[in-house]
Amino acid sequence: MSDEQVSDHAVLAQALDRLRADLHRLDPHVRDDLPAAVHQMRVTCRRLRATLTTFRKSLDTAATDPVRSDLKWLGGVLGEARDLEVLRDRLDRLLLAQPSHLVRDHPGPWIDARLAAARRTARSEVLAAMATDRYAALLAALDAWHEDPPWAGLPDRPARKRLARAFSRSWSRMERAAAAAVAADAADRPARLHAVRKAAKRSRYAGEMLAPVLGPEFGRLAEKAEEVQDVLGEYQDCVVAAERVSRLSDLAHAQGRDTFTLGVLSVRLEAAVLASEQAFGQTWGELEG
């Protein structure tokens, strides 16, 4: 079947149903705390939200907006647990990379204990969220779409016309966000870079969804968006790590611990934040070229 015969509704229905199935598949894995399960469910929530946002002109927003809100809520709960997993690994590696004379008062076990306790709290919050009526209603709404997708009432059209146009709008939003980030001053740049990352994720997910039915050019664009997402993901992880280390340093000081090594880690992370900003500028410049 040519891409001119593949319909708007068929592509979206298949994508929504696949992501719905992924949420159900991951549910028991998250409850059992299997490796990477929280991360995979969080990504699934993001992909669902991105699909509902990017292709909203094809969908009944009265039905999809509440689901988008619930997916944002669930993704936020999952995010704290996932961020702590990433942070713990990053700080372990960063500590191991420091010369021995810069590591004082055995900070590794102390940091691990604090982050492990925070992760247990975050996991409890994930399980509590998954026990709520709100979570059950979210899954029920997605299940209902399996038989009755939330179309906007517009006539079904070839995917090449409607969905490709939606992708183009998404890509343009990413370009505008990137231009604003490049031009922003230091105070405004973090928020601008966050907006670029969100736009890049939406373009990536949309391109990956469309590539199998509309052609490899969408896959190539998705790869370009992923490059932007990856470099800004590193930036965001460094920002989060620097903020957490600052809080850990305050706690260590209050407990009378030597905070010298935490100060070293803070300096290293701030340097990594700046390096990531520069990497974004280089990556975006190459994509524009």
Q: Is the pLDDT of residue 3 over 90?
A: no
Write out pLDDT tens, residues 100-111: 999 999 999 999
Q: What tokens were used for 120?
A: 């247990």
Q: What tokens were used for 276?
A: 């990531």
Going by pLDDT thresholds of 50, 70 and 90, the confidence category of residue 4 is low
Q: Find the angle CA(119)-CA(124)-CA(130) to the nearest 5 degrees.
A: 125
Task: Enter the pTM of the model.
Answer: 0.92
The structural domains of the chain, ordered by start, are 8-148+158-288 (1.40.20.10)
For range 128-145, the mean pLDDT: 98
For range 8-34, the mean pLDDT: 97
Going by pLDDT thresholds of 50, 70 and 90, the confidence category of residue 289 is low
**Which residue in this structure is represented by tokens 């719905």?**
20
For range 84-106, the mean pLDDT: 95
Write out pLDDT tens, residues 147-201: 999 999 888 888 888 999 999 999 999 999 999 999 999 999 999 999 999 999 9
For the chain, give the mean pLDDT: 95
Q: Is the pLDDT of residue 91 over 90?
A: yes
Instruction: Of 47, 73, 68, 28, give the one whose Cα is nearest residue 209.
Output: 47
Write out pLDDT tens, residues 193-245: 999 999 999 999 999 999 999 999 999 999 999 999 999 999 999 999 999 99
Question: CA of 239: how far to CAs of 180, 232, 236, in Å?
Answer: 20, 10, 5
